[in-house]
């Protein structure tokens, strides 16, 4: 029987708020057994870019990354956010090790080609996302060896192409890809946590959590506009993970990473 591992992805809205982040780190530190934390930081990157006079552009819930924005996200994700989380976990007795995809060649990707994207007005356009990476492979053997040595990987949403280029990569995609790769070695529970209670039927009502979503329901909810924006890639990554061996996926509030509440993706 495979050992159980929890892979937790925390969104940018949580990591930029000191109080929310402190609660998240307390909960994560208390999770027993093997675990991995994948983090975002998009909102902090956006505010940092604005302070530097750099415009942020999003399409379909995903960031367009030009050369200047790539410098910002590398500093924010791989530096400030990652090391803040690592230091916070060390203070709680967790042997955290901060990683990007380039470290140890754990996550290799390729630059995303032009992609047809459905816009908010219903039309479709070809979009150049810039220096954005789509994952090709995850070195699960190296990650598992770090984990079995007692380390807790804290993974930033940056990958590389093997040719010296850092690529911005969606944190949900990183979490899903790591979960899929580690499914060869472990029974994996993947938890996407952020500042909402789960997938909401009404974005303004925290009590409207949809407890269970399958692929047919997800397609309908996307068509109805209930699942929209950044939740769409999160849902897509959840189903991709389940199809490739992950045991369970939960979308929930950062205060509930034990999976006791939220939306279960089936």
Q: Within 13 Å of residue 71, how many CA atoms lie on the same side as its CB?
A: 6
Q: What is the pLDDT, as a whole number, of residue 119? A: 67
Is the domain covering 3-265 a CATH 3.40.1160.10 domain?
yes
pLDDT digits (tens, 9 = 90+) for 155-187: 999 999 999 999 999 999 999 999 999 999 999
What confidence score (pLDDT) does residue 171 get? 92
**What pLDDT, on a 0 to 100 scale, did the predictor assign at position 234?**
87
**Who's near 69: CB < 8 A, 6+ residues apart?**
45, 49, 54, 56, 63, 130, 131, 168
User: Is the predicted pLDDT of residue 61 greater than 80, yes or no?
Assistant: no
Q: What is the pLDDT of residues 83-127, one digit of tens each?
A: 999 999 999 999 999 999 999 999 999 999 987 777 666 778 888
Q: Indicate the pLDDT class of residue 80, thresholds 50, 70 and 90.
A: very high
**What is the C-alpha separation between 137 and 63, in angstroms, rounded?**
21
Q: What is the pLDDT of residue 63?
A: 83
Q: What is the pLDDT of residues 205-263, one digit of tens each?
A: 999 999 999 999 999 999 999 998 878 888 998 999 999 999 999 999 999 998 789 99
pLDDT of residue 67: 94
More confident residue, 63 or 84: 84
Q: What is the pLDDT of residue 51?
A: 95
CA distance 243 to 247: 9
pLDDT, residue 125, reads 82
pLDDT at 12 over 80: no
What is the average per-residue pLDDT within 40-67? 88
Residue 233: what pLDDT?
Answer: 84
Residue 18 vs residues 113, 174, 179, 210: alpha-carbon distances, Å: 37, 23, 27, 28
pLDDT number for residue 68: 95
CA 135-252-238 angle, to 5 degrees, is 30
- Quote the pTM value: 0.93
Band of the pLDDT at 10, cuts 50, 70, 90? very high
Predicted pLDDT of residue 72: 96
């Amino acid at each position: 029987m495979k050992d159980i591992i929890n892979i937790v992805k925390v969104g940018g809205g949580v990591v930029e708020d000191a109080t929310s982040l402190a609660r998240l780190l307390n909960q994560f530190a208390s999770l027993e057994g093997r675990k991995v934390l994948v983090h975002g930081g998009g909102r902090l990157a956006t505010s940092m870019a604005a302070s530097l006079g750099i415009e942020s552009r999003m399409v379909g819930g995903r960031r367009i990354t030009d050369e200047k924005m790539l410098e910002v996200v590398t500093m924010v994700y791989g530096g400030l956010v990652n090391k803040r989380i690592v230091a916070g976990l060390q203070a709680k007795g967790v042997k955290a090790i901060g990683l990007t995809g380039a470290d140890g060649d754990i996550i290799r990707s390729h630059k995303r080609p032009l992609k047809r994207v459905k816009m908010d007005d219903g039309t479709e356009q070809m979009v150049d996302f810039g220096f954005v990476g789509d994952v090709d492979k995850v070195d699960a053997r190296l990650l598992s060896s770090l984990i079995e040595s007692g380390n807790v990987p804290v993974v930033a949403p940056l990958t590389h192409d093997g040719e010296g280029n850092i690529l911005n990569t969606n944190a949900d995609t990183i979490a899903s890809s790591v979960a899929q790769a580690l499914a060869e070695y472990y029974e994996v529970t993947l938890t996407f946590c952020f500042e909402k209670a789960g997938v909401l039927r009404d974005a303004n009502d925290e009590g409207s959590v949809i407890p269970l979503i399958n692929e047919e329901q997800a397609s309908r909810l996307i068509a109805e506009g209930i699942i929209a924006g950044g939740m769409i890639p999160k849902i897509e990554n959840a189903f991709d993970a389940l199809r490739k061996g992950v045991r369970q996926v939960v979308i929930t509030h950062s205060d509930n990473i034990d999976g006791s509440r939220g939306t279960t993706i089936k």
